[in-house]
Amino acid sequence: MATAAEIAAARKELGVSDELFPRHIAIIMDGNGRWASTRGLPRTAGHAQGAQVTRRIVTEGCRLGLAALTLYSFSIENWRRPKDEVSALMHLYAEYLRTEREELMANNVRMRHLGRREGLPQSVLDELDHSISISASNTGMWLNLALNYGSRAEVADGVRRIARNVAEGRLNWQDVSEESITNSLYTAGLPDPDLLIRTAGELRLSNFLLWQISYAEIYVTETLWPDFDAAELHRGILAFAQRNRRFGGLSK
């Protein structure tokens, strides 16, 4: 677990002051299949390599003192992929959650699941629930795994929660606000992402955190996820620190 002094030293080494440092980074991890194909390997090899990268980036996020790191690992649309690839991915998720648990606890990481539980294999749900449970008392970085996730589905689920509260008399419809919608989403209680990183050069949002990234800065890299490393993460943070974030106002 990084101490406050170690976090300060890491940020100083990077050359980014606290006021210019992103609190919450969200990453669309893309390019596993292409990485494998260019090497004549099955797509599952790319996913396995991507899991190794995930571990290193989570560790680096902790070292830099991020408040939250959200990783887009499997979308609702990804169920359309070949069954053998999906099966391999689910096995990989369960294995990752099991093998990385000790590392997460050592780094004081809190885990959260973003997405729908319905459809996920019981083996994945068991490992996910265990990781969430044992890390609940940690106080460090939030690691949010967007697994079986879609932003439109998240908003629909949130609207249903609000409608239920109205129907049961816990909320007046006139009081529905941006805040109440935010609090109905999977990310309730978390700061919105300041920085969205997308790998593999793709220029689309892919139904990811559409409500939450309203004012996020976007950094796109041609690097495929299995080749992504701490240096590339640093480049994204440095690019973020140089942006002029106006939030609809004028430049200072």
Which active-site residues does the annotation give? 30, 78
Q: How far apart are CA 188 and CA 191, in angstroms?
A: 8
DSSP 91-149: HHHHHHHHHTHHHHHHTT-EEEEES--TTS-HHHHHHHHHHHHHTTT--S-EEEEEEEE
Amino acid at 204: R
Q: Where are the alpha helices (DSSP H) in the chain?
A: 4-14, 32-37, 43-63, 83-99, 101-106, 122-134, 151-167, 178-182, 230-241
